[in-house]
Amino acid sequence: MTDTPAPETACRGSREHRVWRRTLVSAWCAQTAAIMGFTFVMPFLRLYLRDELGLTDDTSRALWSGFIFGAPGFVMGFAAPMWGILADRVGRKVMVMRAMFGGAVVIGLMGLATSPTHILILRLCQGALTGTITASAALVASVSPSDRAGFSMGMMQAAIFAGNAVGPVVGGITSDAIGARPAFFISGALLMVGGVLITVFATEGHSHPRESTGEGQTFGQVLRSPGFIGILLLMFVMRLSRAFPGVIFQEYVEVLVGERGDVNTVAGFLLAVMFLTASITSMLMGRLADRVGYASLIIAGTIAGGAICIPQAWVSALWQLFVLRILLGVAAGTIGPAMGKFVHASFPPSSHGRAFGIVQSANSFAFSIGPLAGGFVNAAFIPHFGPVTALKLPFAVAGVFQLVVGFVAWGVFARLRGRGGECAASE
């Protein structure tokens, strides 16, 4: 005799499945719009400092760029865990709304800035108020079935990469056509659209703290989860190495472009091709993470990313950089879904806010220190090697860094597997 679920159990399962699908779709669209908004102008901020705010000295611009690019991550590193605790207490949806609407206001105000100091202050406010990636991931993870968690996290990573693919292209064309200041207002409007989508369509269902019967873990319990600290450290160093050359990317492209006046557009397309490739890869790897686990994907993506990053320092033509950015997108798209799967598998929904908040904190500090370090290295090397060579070196440093992290990750997961640790490095 075959057991069949009770009608009310089947009905509840059907409702929860609808909640998951509706929330995933709305969060995917909102996250894509939000990332488009953030990347609409952010990749060209260094040129904005030079052309609109009068920061023409190479060394001063390198230092200011490092501080400005790194400022949000530094503040977010402290704010994210607090937002995570609040998410587990009052709900994840309202945290996504806070991040979206807060970002819309702050980014829009950057279009009115008249000095680098104004931009720095607004970037600090951005770090305190935003965090759409982690807030959206916590929301989606809390409603996702266990056997679809990798797929859900892969889709959310795809949204991030899709927004990163479209935003710089459209933003670069817009900045070249009408100037950077109006582009900031468009950027804010895109974040506003994301906030409205979440407000109207997303829902938490039974995973909302008011309805959930599960008791959330404390911060200490989350941190003591087997393998979590090791994963955080690996992720921190990996993100740090990826953020290291970002602050000088636009001016590096300007060197390859030469006298052409469309550097923003070209830089936008180079960023877009990487993120488009990463978006497609994320959707595929999300399904794979549900089948093979996260450890192998993290190791492969990190080592491949390092090996691909190093040759960017020696390209002599745009087409070479174009090819390397495509390959880098494949590596980046491999890592994200695996990280999301790790958090979903390691913690109950009642602790997803805290867990993703800690992950966001590690990411934020990495993305804060990375550009700052890249800016200082660029400024320090300019007197010794000249401005062009100083633009190349961060790519080589970042690549070597990622290779080291990848091989360390290999050893860490092997040790966890040998101890029979939680991940068995592959769940």
Contact 198/100 with Cβ under 8 angstroms?
Answer: yes
Q: Does position 123 have pLDDT exceeding 90, yes or no?
A: yes
| Structure confidence at residue 420 (pLDDT) | 52
Question: Which bin fits 6, alpha (ψ -120 to 50), beta or left (φ > 0)?
Answer: beta
Closest CA to 397 of 315, 310, 286, 330: 310
- Nearest 5°: phi and psi at 420? 70, 25
Residue carrying structure tokens 């207490």: 89
Give the C-alpha separation, 421 to 427, whole Å. Answer: 9
Instruction: Give the pLDDT of residue 418.
Output: 61
Cα 74 to Cα 40, 107, 243, 361, distances in angstroms: 22, 17, 13, 9
Cβ contact 163:35 at 8 Å: yes
Which range is most confident: 197-201, 261-265, 360-364, 422-426?
Answer: 197-201
218: DSSP letter = P
> Which pLDDT band holds residue 416 (cuts at 50, 70, 90)?
low
CA distance linking residue 42 with residue 158, whole number of Å: 20
Residue 21: CB atoms within 10 Å: 13
DSSP secondary structure letters along 5-19? --HHHHHHHHHHHHH
Choice among 88-97, 262-271, 416-425 with the minimum mean pLDDT = 416-425
Domains and CATH numbers, the chain: 17-204+226-419 (1.20.1250.20)
Angle between helices 58-90 and 132-143 (to 10 degrees): 30
Is 390 in contact with 255 (CB distance < 8 Å)? Answer: no
d(CA 76, CA 84): 11
pLDDT at 222 over 60: yes
Tokens of 168: 């710089």
What percentage of the chain carries pLDDT values higher than 90?
20
| Over residues 82-96, mean pLDDT | 87
Q: Cα separation of 96 and 199, whole Å?
A: 9
Q: At what angle do helices 249-257 and 352-419 cross, to 10 degrees?
A: 80
pLDDT of residue 1: 45
Q: Give the separation between CA 176 and CA 261, rounded to whole angstroms.
A: 8
20 alpha-carbon distance from chain centroid: 22
Phi-psi region of 226 (alpha: psi -120 to 50; beta: other; left: phi over 0): beta
Task: Render pLDDT for 225-273 as a digit per residue (tens, 0 to 9).
Answer: 777 887 787 778 777 777 777 777 877 888 888 766 677 678 778 878 8
- Segment 107-116 shows an average pLDDT of 93
State how far the Cα of 225 lies from the Cα of 15, in Å rounded to an integer.
Answer: 31
In the chain, the amino acid numbered 84 is G
Q: Taking 80 as the threshold, does the pLDDT of residue 3 lie above it?
A: no
In this predicted structure, the answer to whether residue 56 has a pLDDT above a threshold of 60 is yes
| Statement: residue 279 has pLDDT above 60 | yes
Cα 380 to the chain's mean position, in Å?
Answer: 28
CA dihedral 195, 69, 246, 184 (to 10 degrees): 50
Burial string for 308-332 (b: 16+ CB within 10 Å, else e) reads bbbbbbebeeeeebeebbbbbbbbb
pLDDT of residue 424: 43
Are residues 402 and 241 in contact, defined by beta-carbon separation less than 8 angstroms? yes
DSSP state of 113: -
Q: What are the tens digits of pLDDT across the range 165-176?
A: 888 788 878 887
pLDDT value, residue 196 = 96
Q: Give the CA radius of gyration of the chain.
A: 21
